[in-house]
Amino acid sequence: MRVMSERISRRIGAITESATLAVDAKAKALQAAGEPVIGFGAGEPDFPTPAHIVEAAAAACRNPKYHRYTPAAGLPELREAIAAKTVRDSGFVTAAANILVTNGGKQAVYNTFEALLNPGDEVLVPAPYWTTYPEPIALAGATAVVISTDVSSGFKVTLEQLEAAYTPRTKALLFVSPSNPTGAVYSREQTIEIGRWAASKGLWVITDEIYEHLVYDEREFSSMATLVPELGDRVVILNGVAKTYAMTGWRVGWMIGPPDLIKAATNLQSHSTSNVCNVAQAAALAAVSGDLSAVAEMRAAFDRRRRRMHALLSSIDGVICLEPEGAFYAFPSFEGVLGRTFNGRKATSTSELATIILDEAKVAVIPGEAFGAPGYFRLSFALGDDDLGEGVTRIADFIGGR
């Protein structure tokens, strides 16, 4: 008997679409069709990339040297500059040889998990988590062990929770601060405590530092890689230019790790995407070699929007919203709103409520289900002040039946 072949592989067939990109695409499609939709979906700054970075790319475009392949690991001068920038910004001392330039931070996530994990391995993933992490873990045949946190702990995982989730199969801990989607920022003490725990278990730590420059009030960014030297050669830093320099579309990120891991990940990348676009690397070189004045200006605007969004969301009956400490996301609980009927449509989950709000109030938010946290919404505050005010007011009016 002939066995029917499966058209799509089981591994890839099991991958879900990125919910954040899907909501953003739907919002943009509705906008293009003339609907007055306001989108809180995409995590991208509304600012243009700073002029000196664009100029560097324009100059690279005119220079035939940049019309060619680069080494798979990236332009040597960019890797040097990333090493220098890492010491400057987080105090972590590294060398160009320990850096792989990737197509955005997302490919650094993918490369890391594919290069590190074997089937059966477990990775501790505190939730709410960024929607992308579990997929490459599953693709590697490993398991994401999700550790739930909520507003009561400020969305921060505790040592007790980590200890309870740990098994002899645990290979790595994923640590993300400032966090997408919650905006939580771990203190220096918490970072050290968790890092030392991971080191004592002999775990790898993958620390995603892409929001390092977006912390508010008196808070400071703490790099676990720097603060916990006991992690030795089992620490991987993920980073990129997207959020710091308003460069989401340029697609430049990187991973920093021990030589054997970087070599393995470079081999993988050499067969998948080769090098990152040469011109984009020239732009990233200008970004990371320059000063941080542009991000300081953007941070001031995000800070203003953060306060406004927090105040508006907190005023909605049934909504609990912590003030975001970093990144550019608010992560309010809409649990208290579920079960109500809006325009004849009952919302029993935040996933359903998000659809109703998009259809009826023309506002796009990402439901917490996408981040392993039903009951919440993620709203980016990296959009213009007017849209932000109008969008959250629309949600408040809609929920309040006005």
Ligand X SMILES: Cc1ncc(COP(=O)(O)O)c(C=O)c1O
Q: Quick check: 180 binds ligand X (CB under 6 A)?
A: yes
Q: What is the CA radius of gyration of the chain?
A: 21
Minimum distance between the CB of residue 49 and ligand X, rounded to whole angstroms? 13
Torsion angles phi and psi, residue 329, rounded to 5: -135, 140
Minimum distance between the CB of residue 397 and ligand X, rounded to whole angstroms? 29
CB-nearer residue toward ligand X: 292 or 338 = 292
CB-nearer residue toward ligand X: 212 or 362 = 212
Q: Quick check: 328 binds ligand X (CB under 6 A)?
A: no
Minimum distance between the CB of residue 242 and ligand X, rounded to whole angstroms? 4
Q: Quick check: 261 binds ligand X (CB under 6 A)?
A: no
| Tokens representing residue 295 in the block | 């991000």
Minimum distance between the CB of residue 143 and ligand X, rounded to whole angstroms? 20
CB 266 within 8 A of CB 73: yes
Minimum distance between the CB of residue 281 and ligand X, rounded to whole angstroms? 13
Minimum distance between the CB of residue 64 and ligand X, rounded to whole angstroms? 28
Among 24, 114, 121, 208, binds ligand X (CB under 6 A): 208
CB-nearer residue toward ligand X: 50 or 240 = 240
Q: Which of 395, 381, 396, 399 is nearest to 181 (CA)?
A: 381
Q: Which residues contact 324 (CB under 8 A, 6 or more apart)?
A: 182, 183, 184, 216, 306, 310, 330, 331, 381
Minimum distance between the CB of residue 24 and ligand X, rounded to whole angstroms? 11
Among 210, 227, 255, 370, binds ligand X (CB under 6 A): 210
Taking the C-alpha atoms of residue 165 and residue 157, their distance in angstroms, rounded to an integer, is 11
| Tokens representing residue 325 in the block | 């400490």
What DSSP designation does 371 have? G
What x-and-dash track marks residues 130-169 binding ligand X by CB under 6 A? x---------------------------------------
Q: Quick check: 269 binds ligand X (CB under 6 A)?
A: no
Among 19, 37, 41, 43, binds ligand X (CB under 6 A): 43
Q: Is 31 exposed, middle or buried (0-12, 13-18, 19+ CB in 10 A)?
A: middle
Q: Quick check: 175 binds ligand X (CB under 6 A)?
A: no
Taking the C-alpha atoms of residue 327 and residue 304, their distance in angstroms, rounded to an integer, is 13
Minimum distance between the CB of residue 309 and ligand X, rounded to whole angstroms? 18
CB-nearer residue toward ligand X: 104 or 368 = 104
Minimum distance between the CB of residue 257 and ligand X, rounded to whole angstroms? 16
Minimum distance between the CB of residue 185 and ligand X, rounded to whole angstroms? 13
* SS3 call for 36: coil
Q: Quick check: 240 binds ligand X (CB under 6 A)?
A: yes
Among 149, 191, 248, 333, binds ligand X (CB under 6 A): 248
Q: Is the peptide bond before 374 cis (omega within 30 degrees of 0)?
A: no
CB-nearer residue toward ligand X: 39 or 240 = 240
**Enclosing H/E stretch for 363:** strand 363-364
CB-nearer residue toward ligand X: 81 or 242 = 242
What x-and-dash track marks residues 81-120 binding ligand X by CB under 6 A? -----------------------xxx--------------
| Candidate ranges 83-91, 225-233, 240-248, 333-341; the one touching ligand X (CB under 6 A) | 240-248
Tell how far CA 148 is from the center of its chain: 17
Helix, strand, coil content of the chain in percent (nearest 5): 45, 15, 40
Q: Which of 40, 87, 22, 21 is nearest to 248 (CA)?
A: 21
Helix-then-strand count for the chain, H and E: 14, 14
Q: Quick check: 45 binds ligand X (CB under 6 A)?
A: no
What DSSP designation does 218 have? T
Tell how far CA 354 is from the center of its chain: 21
Q: Quick check: 79 binds ligand X (CB under 6 A)?
A: no
CA atoms within 13 A on the CB side of 302: 33
| Tokens representing residue 210 in the block | 């892409």
CB 8 within 8 A of CB 355: no
Q: Quick check: 253 binds ligand X (CB under 6 A)?
A: yes
CB-nearer residue toward ligand X: 76 or 249 = 249
Q: Which of 273, 292, 290 is nearest to 101 (CA)?
A: 273
Number of residues that bind ligand X (CB under 6 A): 13
Residue ranges that bind ligand X, judged by CB under 6 A: 43, 104-106, 130, 176, 180, 208, 210, 240, 242, 248, 253
